[in-house]
Amino acid sequence: MEPVTVAFQGEAGAYSEAAGLEFFHSTARTVACHTFEDVFAAVSSGQVNHGILPIENSLAGSIHRNYDLLLRNELFIVGEYHHRVNHCLLGLPGVRLEDLVQVHSHPQALAQCEASLAQLKLPGIAEADTAGSAKWLSESGNRKAGAIASRRAAQVYGLNILVENLEDNPANYTRFLIVAARPLEVALSNAENFKTSIVFSMPNRPGILFKAMSVFALRDIDLTKIESRPIAGKPWEYMFYIDFAGSDQSPACARALAHLEELTIFLRILGSYPRHQINY
């Protein structure tokens, strides 16, 4: 069996890397990429056998760029993973919480810790990413600065965790997609614990989205997500992305997809993969 290699966007210690190691176990080899496009390219070229991509955060919403890139690239979704975002306040070894005068991190991480930082009377300084802030802190040797990043970033850069779960809202999850060059082979026996992601476009007619949704509703197939993205060159027309419960190999889902094809101009199955279910 090939060893697992997984590309992620960001610096070593990014939340995406942490999620990849949780999904594949800590023996997987991770490859840091500068952009999301680079993650797709690393998988397409065979440099790695998997990529991990954030697709939605339970507080901030969808990462629309990755929806567009799923369409533009010919990869398949082979898994999903819900990662609990645990923002840690990191400092250099020996530095105490009361030594800090400012905290560096990505603007979204700072925003998600706004109340906690206000309570600690620590102003936030915006940086390009969370793990990059931890890396900078480690290299700068600045004993008055902290960084907000993952628990893994603390390990990678030899920093101490001064506060765990700094986020104001604990219901902070990111859903990641695992992509590969080939689709998963689905054993029908456990197809009911699967999810399928599709993308499609339709002629611009009144009621057409309702009809598209009816192919699922009339077969009691549960939709778990709907997202729309603009089509370049056709103002106010959309590509629709839908996730539904079930495998494309199950008879009901296969019939729903055949029915959907009667209505669409374009339809692509992005992948069928095991659902990740956790209790919130």
Could you give the residue numbers annotated as active site?
Answer: 174, 176
Q: Which of 231, 49, 253 is nearest to 271 (CA)?
A: 253
The span of 8-16, 148-156, 183-191, 203-211 binding a copy of itself (CB under 8 A) equals: 203-211
Question: Exactly one of 188, 226, 258, 265 binds a copy of itself (CB under 8 A); which one?
Answer: 226
Rg (CA), the chain: 21
With binding defined as CB under 8 A, does residue 234 bind a copy of itself? yes
Sign of CA dihedral 255, 228, 193, 26: positive
Tell me how many residues contact a copy of itself (CB under 8 A): 37
233 binds a copy of itself (CB under 8 A): yes
Check residue 230 for interaction with a copy of itself (CB under 8 A).
Answer: yes
Closest approach, Cβ 65 to a copy of itself, in A, equals 10
Nearest to 264 by CA among 225, 222, 226, 215: 215
Beta carbons within 10 angstroms of residue 182's beta carbon: 9
Q: Which of 87, 135, 175, 195 touches a copy of itself by CB under 8 A?
A: 175
Can residue 128 be called a binding residue for a copy of itself (CB under 8 A)? no
The C-alpha atoms of residue 270 and residue 159 are separated, in whole angstroms, by 39
Residue 136 vs 173, nearer CB to a copy of itself = 173
Closest distance to a copy of itself from the beta carbon of 154 (Å): 25
Stretch that binds a copy of itself, among 20-28, 131-139, 178-186, 227-235 (CB under 8 A): 227-235
Q: Which of residues 213, 252, 263, 269 is near a copy of itself by CB under 8 A? A: 213
| Residue found by looking up tokens 């065979």 in the block | 46
Q: According to the binding rule CB under 8 A, does residue 214 interact with a copy of itself?
A: yes
The interface with a copy of itself within residues 45-64 (CB under 8 A) comprises: 56-61, 64
How would DSSP label each residue in 97-157?
A: GGG-SEEEE-HHHHHHTHHHHHHTT--EEE-S-HHHHHHHHHHHT-TTEEEEE-HHHHHHH
Token digits for 253? 């889902």
Rounded CA-CA distance 269/143 in Å is: 51
Q: Answer whether 173's CB lies under 8 Å from 81's CB.
A: no
CB of 60 to a copy of itself, least distance (A): 7
Sites of contact with a copy of itself (CB under 8 A): 56-61, 64, 82, 169, 171, 173, 175, 206-207, 209-211, 213-214, 216-217, 220, 222-230, 232-236, 280
